[in-house]
Structure 1
Amino acid sequence: MTDVIPASVPQPSFAESLKGRYFSTRRDTIVSIVFATLALWLGWSLVSWALVNATFGAGQGDVCRENMHGGACWSIVAARWRIVLFGLYPFEEQWRSGLACAIMVVVAILSCVPWFWSPRRLPVLWVAGFAAFYILMRGGLFGLPEVTEQNWGGLALTVFIFAAVVLLGMPLAIVFALLRRSELPWIARTMALVIDTVRSLPLLSIMFTFAIVLPFVLPGWAIGDKLYRVIVGYALFFACYQAEIIRGGMQALPAGQEEAAKALGMTYWQRIGYIILPQAFRNALPPTINQIVITFKETSLVTIIGFFDVMASGRAASGTAEWNFATIEMYVFVGLIFFVFVFSLSRYGAYLERRLRVGTR
């Protein structure tokens, strides 16, 4: 008996597929036409405002004022971009702030190279990059004039806070997760109480506590600068959330792996360093990337307690009498800055998920 070879099913054309999805019934046709018309109208209105009728050029403030309702005034970006990127940093030293941000961008790009994906190389890369960033921003070494933290601002301050929080918070999160899994009940329960308490508090209240309340209870030598107190508080908040993410990755591992490692005579730190943590970070990669993205976006909260970050710089750039009519354009520019950083982080996370086959079977 001969086998019958089934005939191949012809694939529908693009027009047939489009008709089947959006115009198969009268109701689908009406809904598709209405939404397509609305989308085209909104798209054209945005393009008309942002490009067709927009005003460009740093010296076009008077033209913008005469054409306030015709289109966007991107002249404010051309004229005030230095305030957004550098804040209160001295004008003649702003190249240092720009170079410092470029170094951190290069560090982030190099972190995408698989050669750096090791417990030794990646921390060294980030610590070295952050040290170079800090030396350029602060100065006082290699003939660079000193610029105190009170004069930092703009994008550079946002990048500094974000990098410092992640560098401090990630090792602390690992320690918290290991203590949370301790076999000694009093250690595990105490750590669980600390983590749950911090996670139940709003980030803004923690920032206020470390910035304003903490100096009243600390000795004079331990007070330090307000910026670093806020960073420590933010890092603690980040560590508590990230500790639960890492612990979830650890719990996803089969129990037999750790038992097999014990049977092979591996010490506790060998089991943690070679067996548990690498797989835990792999399992927890999607929520870890999400937590890092949230951390970068929430750095804008520091503007409420008096720091001149990129959000506050954008507000100051459009707060003068000359440019107070172009607030929307300035916030769009600041939003694009956040979009570039956050979208890049999310795309990198998606790349890591595909490369490491996270969530696939």
Structure 2
Amino acid sequence: MTPLSPALRPPRPGLFTRLRRDYFATPLSALTSLFCVGLLGFLGWTLLDWGLLHATFDPAARQAECRAAGGACWSVIANRWRLILFGLYPYEEQWRSALASGIVVITMVLSCLPRCWSPRRIALVWGLGFGLFYLLMKGGIPGLPLVREEQWGGLALTLFIFVSTAIIGMPLAIAFALLRNSRLPWIARSSALLIDTIRSLPLVSILFTFAIVLPFVLPDFVLQEKLYRVIAGSALFFAAYQAEIIRGGMQGVARGQDEAAMSLGIPYHHRIARIVLPQAFRNALPATINQFVITFMETSLVVIVGFFELLSSANAAFGTSEWTFAFVEVYVFVAFLYFIFVFGLSRYGAYLERRMATGQR
């Protein structure tokens, strides 16, 4: 159906007309709208008054001064931000953790640009970014003292676990999805059993198993640092869920396209890479972005196996008697950091949906 030209389209109603139609069409709708606006206004003013107008920003202020002001005590952030952001990382080397975190963020931004979407460029961007991150965090070369993984913490550790999980888990998820769609029944059923088994277990139990149990059942030469075992368990958990998301996207691709490609003699790997998977990822894009968001937030679970990631570093920041009263401010600060990354992921997903809807490459 040919769309109408702009000259023939009916005029769009004005803002006042749309507000009256959507929110004040009936007396009940008007009352509900006014109540919600009033409630939001009250909450907004309360947060503004607590967080800014009557807040304490003086780094030298303590509990007495903060209580007297009656608002938030941001002094805890001014005094404990290093512990929150860097965890147990050596104080003199914390510039390396900050620089490594910045490199990861820049790498993520570059990989979101359309001009970097070729396999060679994306591999180059992630290879350089991840390599520089690991070199800075680990050290062990002239000029950079060695810092063992047990000392990593804060934001850098959260980003490392998230990025490693995604880099390892996504190719594994694609392999799982293809194996489950195999025409050979024994391969498809074995893959389905593996995926369903992993999905039936909570992530906490998988992390505990990889971090604590595996050293008792595997020989020493197979084991690596505990951090890498935790990342392997997290990636396996991510891959099981993402495989089902990709498989759902593949089911949305018309079967006739694959059959037509087979009739033309196109090899299997070309059919999958150029016909099936691009459309499957387009169909599964909202669920994929949601899975990335969940994975980023689930990095906080590594605290159960002894790692000092962002949230556990925040808990330590107010764990002393001097700052016990300021736990709300610390959690608000950490929530803001999580919000920046999660909101960025969701907005990028919305951008990709709009871009794919218009058929751009």
With the length of structure 1 as denominator, give the TM-score of the two structures: 0.92
Partners in 1 of 2:238 and 2:332 — Cα distance? 28
1:31-73 alpha-carbon deviations (Å, 9 max, x no partner): 34333332222221111001100011322225544427x1001
Q: How many aligned residue pairs are there? A: 352
Report the counterpart of residue 101 of structure 2 in structure 1.
Answer: 101
Q: CA 1:163–1:19 in structure 2 vs 1: closer, same or farther (change >3 Å)?
A: closer
- Report if the CA contact (8 A) 1:55-1:63 is conserved: no
Q: Matched residues in 1 for 2:268 and 2:323: separation?
A: 62
- Given the superposition, is the C-alpha separation of residues 221 and 34 from structure 1 closer, same or farther in structure 2, using an over 3 Å criterion? same
CA contact (8 A) 1:283 1:358 kept: no
* Distance in 1 separating the partners of 2:124 and 2:213: 34
What is aligned with 1:4?
A: none
- Cα distance, 1:347–1:15 mapped onto 2, change above 3 Å: closer
Which amino acid is 1:266 matched to? I
Q: How does 1:167-246 map to 2 (within 5 A)?
A: 167-246=167-246
SS at match of 1:96: helix
> Which amino acid in the other structure matches residue 39 of structure 1?
L
Q: Secondary structure at the match of 1:59?
A: coil
Partner of 2:82: 82
Aligned partners of 1:265, 1:295: CA distance in 2, in Å? 39
* Distance change in 2, residues 1:25/1:209 (3 Å): same
User: Residues 242 and 358 of structure 1: is their aligned pair in 2 closer, same or farther, counting only changes over 3 Å?
Assistant: farther
Give unmatched runs, 5+ long, in structure 1: 1-6
Contact 1:111-1:117 within 8 A present in 2 as well: yes
Match of residue 53 from structure 2: 52
User: Residues 176-205 of structure 1: CA distance to partner in whole angstroms, max 9, x if unpaired?
Assistant: 111111111101100000000100111111
Give % identity.
Answer: 59
Q: 1:14 to 1:349 in 2, by over 3 A?
A: closer
> Which range moved further: 159-168 or 141-150?
141-150
Cα distance in 2 for partners of 1:163, 1:8 equals 47
Quick one: distance in 2 between partners of 1:11 and 1:169?
Answer: 46
- Which secondary structure state, in structure 2, belongs to the residue aligned with residue 223 of structure 1? coil
Distance 1:20 1:169, change over 3 A: closer
Q: TM-score, normalised by structure 2?
A: 0.92
Q: How big is the shift at 1:24?
A: 4.7
Q: Does 1:292 pair with 2:267? A: no
Summarize the alignment of residues 88-127 of structure 1 with structure 2, pairs less than 5 Å apart: 88-127=88-127
Match of 1:73, SS state, is coil
Amino acid at match of 2:163: A
The 8 Å contact of residues 208 and 304 in structure 2, kept in 1 or not, is answered as no
**Does residue 333 of structure 1 match 2:333?**
yes
**Alignment partner, residue 261 of structure 1:** 261
Deviates more, 1:76-85 or 1:329-338: 76-85
Structure 1 position 249, deviation (Å): 1.6
Matches of 1:229 and 1:211 in 2, distance apart? 6
1:22–1:28 CA contact under 8 A, matched in 2: yes
Aligned-pair CA distance for 1:245: 1.1
Deviates more, 1:52-61 or 1:231-240: 52-61
Paired letter, 2:152: W
The CA distance in 2 between the partners of 1:180 and 1:354, in whole Å, is 30
Counterpart of 2:146 in structure 1: which amino acid? E
RMSD of equivalent CA atoms: 2.1
Question: Are 2:321 and 1:321 aligned?
Answer: yes
Gaps of 5+ in 2: 1-7
Tell me what 2:158 maps to. 158
